[in-house]
A and B are shown apart, each in its own frame.
Chain A
Amino acid sequence: MALTRDLIIQGAQVLLVLALAPLLTGWVRKVKARLLRRRGPPLLQPYRELLRLIRKEAVLAENASWLFRVAPYMIFSAIWVAAALVPTFSIQLIFGRAADLIVIVALLGSARFFLALAGLDVGTSFGGIGSSREMMLAALAEPAMLMIVFTLSLMAGSTQLSSIAEYMIGPTVGIRISLALSAVALIMVALAENARIPVDNPATHLELTMVHEAMVLEYSGRHLAMIEAASSLKLLLYVSLLAAIFTPWGMASTGQSLAAYLLGAAVYAAKLAAGGFALAVFETSIAKMRVFRVSQFLGAALMLGLLATLLLFVSRNL
């Protein structure tokens, strides 16, 4: 009985992240448009775009290999699995026991690997530029992410997200400078990974500094739909990750009533809305940086992660 209930919760989580991801993207776009005093597209516009792209014919370049056709599905499935592993409305996820933060980082890394290969596959110059820049960013973003993971897991004594969230809710956690540093570093990594404004601009095509859009320039039809859905899911994943680690309140734990789960879902929706709103405000208030400054930005994230781990020893060895 308990097993079926766990499976139902996990299934609900898998479907919930997929259903909510385009809505979050639409929400961020809407808030940005309102801040610029435009009306903006309706909230459901990303769903319509995905449907339209799925119905359209997929055009392939003549020299595209099988990899180019397979990559969108690989990227989408890796990111979907990763998003399903982050606790959203309930702390206990049945797959969460088998998978921890390092698995999530690895899933995101393999998605990035396929995207970079797909960018190189057709052999256009834009795809090549995009892939090489993406790898340059990844070489700094992934160590920073791993330093954050180390800090959090040293504090909580586990790399599992559910244990970390329980530790953060629990009474033993204190105000630590390491926590503040890793929160800031995680936000910086999330901005870079989702191609948001100080690093990349998600709203433009054919700009000489673009990274993400340059790699997916050759895609169309259902392949592009998969990639768009994957990037929405990635945004949702990072917002949920930040919410699960640094604001874990309101999540339902094991063996609670249905009402607790509904409350958890409502709180989760509120957290997503707040996260999306903060992202939109941040993006409208800051300018995009030159692509060669990005390595300094991510280097600072890496430094903050390293500093968080170092300062952890000051508070642990006392």
Chain B
Amino acid sequence: MEPLQFDMAHLLAGGLVLVSFMLLYQERMYALLNLFALHAVVLALSVAWQAFIQQAPHLYITAAIALGFKGIVIPVALHRIVQRLHIHRAIEAVVGIGPTMLAGMGLVALSVGVILPITSASSSLAREDLAFSLAVILLGLLMMVSRRNAVSQVVGFMSLENGLILAAAGAKGMPLVVEISVAFSILIAFIVIGIFLFRIRERFDTVDLHALDSFRGERP
């Protein structure tokens, strides 16, 4: 394998992990949405590079879907939702940024420590790709549990899905049908979440999900 091929794949996948951390660090709503668009762009570049290395043309379609839907359509839609609902621009986290960052570090260490020993038979390209994508998935989960605001939870969910696509692109022989169906189910999920956002907002006058807890009587 050419060293440059590995280097570029490594750089792009590592960049995706870094943008995940920037999503965790960000505390303003519009900047968060712009960073999410950047996340999708880095993902598209990474998948396109995998398509070039593996000489798998259908991966270019995956990259185009990632760029079009997640890089443009969903961020623009989220921008409009935030404007229409007059959502508070500051993002409230459940715990502070410092502990969240440390937890993120732990998750990255965990995914590196888990993936590298169990995939020792595969090619080095696939191994590091899997390690990085598991890190992105776990960071997306962390973002979903550490934020109160529904919009930032949606961003966490979408970034988690970006990690799944990165893993799928790294594995050789992933059929296009699977990828397209995953992409569309994510889009459907986004629409459903969007409708839920409007409903939550209508009923509780906020998108802070703690309002739901008190409504169910779980907290006074």
Chain A residues within 8 Å of B, Cβ to Cβ: 174-178, 180-181, 296, 299-300, 303, 306-307, 310-311, 313-315, 317-318
Q: Are A315 and B10 in contact (CB under 8 A)?
A: yes
Q: When chains A and B are docked, how far (Å) is the Cα of A306 from the Cα of B98?
A: 13
Q: Which residues of B contact A176 (CB under 8 A)?
A: 7, 10-11, 14
Q: Which residues of A contact B6 (CB under 8 A)?
A: 174
User: Does B18 reach chain A (CB closer than 8 Å)?
Assistant: yes
Q: Which residues of A contact B11 (CB under 8 A)?
A: 175-177, 180
Closest to B16 in A: A177
Binds A, one of B105-113, B148-156, B171-179: B105-113
Q: When chains A and B are docked, how far (Å) is the Cα of A303 from the Cα of B21?
A: 9
- A81 → chain B closest CB, angstroms: 34
Q: Are B105 and A306 in contact (CB under 8 A)?
A: yes
User: Closest 10 CB pairs between A and B?
Assistant: A177-B14, A318-B124, A175-B7, A174-B7, A314-B128, A303-B101, A317-B116, A314-B131, A175-B11, A310-B108
Q: Which residues of A contact B95 (CB under 8 A)?
A: none
Q: Are B21 and A307 in contact (CB under 8 A)?
A: yes
Instruction: Known A296-B97, A299-B98, A315-B128; judge A307-B18 contact (CB<8 A).
Output: yes
Q: When chains A and B are docked, how far (Å) is the Cα of A177 from the Cα of B112?
A: 15
Q: Which residues of B contact A307 (CB under 8 A)?
A: 17-18, 21, 105, 108
Q: Which residues of A contact B8 (CB under 8 A)?
A: 175
Q: When chains A and B are docked, how far (Å) is the Cα of A314 from the Cα of B109?
A: 10
Chain B residues within 8 Å of A, Cβ to Cβ: 3-4, 6-8, 10-11, 13-15, 17-18, 21, 25, 97-98, 101, 105, 108-109, 112, 116, 124, 127-128, 131-132
The prevalent SS among residues of A at the interface is helix
Q: Which residues of A contact B105 (CB under 8 A)?
A: 303, 306-307, 310
Q: Which residues of B contact A300 (CB under 8 A)?
A: 25, 101
Q: Which residues of A contact B25 (CB under 8 A)?
A: 300
- A178 → chain B closest CB, angstroms: 8
Closest to A296 in B: B97
Closest to B104 in A: A303
Q: Are A314 and B116 in contact (CB under 8 A)?
A: yes
Q: When chains A and B are docked, how far (Å) is the Cα of A178 from the Cα of B116?
A: 17
Q: Are A177 and B124 in contact (CB under 8 A)?
A: no
- B19 → chain A closest CB, angstroms: 12
26 contacts between A and B (CB under 8 A): A174-B6, A174-B7, A174-B10, A175-B7, A175-B8, A176-B7, A176-B10, A176-B11, A177-B15, A177-B17, A178-B14, A180-B11, A181-B18, A296-B98, A299-B97, A299-B98, A307-B17, A307-B21, A310-B109, A311-B14, A313-B112, A314-B116, A314-B128, A315-B10, A317-B116, A318-B127
